[in-house]
Amino acid sequence: MSATARGATAKKTVSELNLILLGPPGAGKGTQAERLQDDFHLPYIATGDILRSAVREGTQLGRQAKEYMDKGELMPDEVIVGVVLERIASDEARDGFLLDGFPRTAEQGRALDSALVDVGRRLTAALLIDVPDDEVVRRLSGRRVSVKSGRVYHVEFDPPKHEGRCDVDGSRLVQREDDKPETVRHRLEVYHRMTEPLIKHYEDKGILRRFDGARSATEVHDHIRATIATLRLEDEL
Ligand code: AMP
């Protein structure tokens, strides 16, 4: 590659922030993503949210997804890969993206890598938020969601003012089918078996960054922000 071409590639990747959030269900990825979106104005691509909204809308994707989701199983790779790559290629994600819930298998990781390579892009970092299994079960099985507003509560850590009712609109709070304790345990088993191998993959590429998800959301956020600031500085050097 000529020096000019190298310069052009380097210049393109410097300004981009292509991030993925890794970690077990219930690690607080969604909470961190909300804050990082505010910090860096990145389009947030959360496959779980995309699939849940497809289920609500009753689209073909939603009908296909529901069965897998209710059981805590993963959707077939080729379906979810298509959904995500389309978003990454969209104009909205031109200057970067924040992926949550994808990739979740080695195959999805490979598909993402090669799609980015094809267009001269690369991942900036894989942010791993780690939390022990017991804590995941405690967090997820206490989670309740408002049927109308979608606001999330926790019976122990963030209870509503009136039991079983949303503070915002008074609608009913329900437990997500996949937050039932036996399904949570199955999701964890799927995470360890299917998703954890990706940690080594990103470690080998030198882009893995670890965060202690047992700490408060604010501490985790401060740590992630500082890490991203350092990565950006390194990129500019
Ligand atoms: P989440 O909210 O990220 O825990 O995702 C909820 C459910 O959506 C998962 O248990 C899977 O059934 C499905 N799902 C989300 N992301 C993926 C993915 N990358 N690959 C396969 N299935 C997924």
Ligand 1 nearest-atom number relative to CA 73: 12
Ligand 1 touching residue 61 (CB < 6 A): no
Flag whether pLDDT at 44 surpasses 50: yes
| Total number of domains constituting the chain | 1
Centroid of ligand 1 to alpha carbon of 1 (angstroms): 39
- The mean pLDDT of 123-142, rounded to a whole number, is 95
Catalytic residue among 104, 121, 139, 144: 104
Flag whether pLDDT at 12 surpasses 50: no
CATH code: domain of residue 230: 3.40.50.300
What domain range includes position 188? 15-42+95-236
Ligand 1 touching residue 23 (CB < 6 A): no
Centroid of ligand 1 to alpha carbon of 61 (angstroms): 13
- Asked, for residue 231, whether it belongs to a domain, the answer is yes
Ligand 1 touching residue 85 (CB < 6 A): no
- The mean pLDDT of 36-50, rounded to a whole number, is 93
H or E stretch covering 22: strand 17-22
Catalytic annotation present for 143: yes
pLDDT of residue 235: 75
pTM: 0.87
The per-residue pLDDT for range 59-115, each reduced to its tens digit, is 999 999 999 998 889 999 999 999 999 999 999 999 999 999 999 999 999 999 999
Strand 143-146: give its sheet, edge to edge: 152-154, 143-146, 173-174
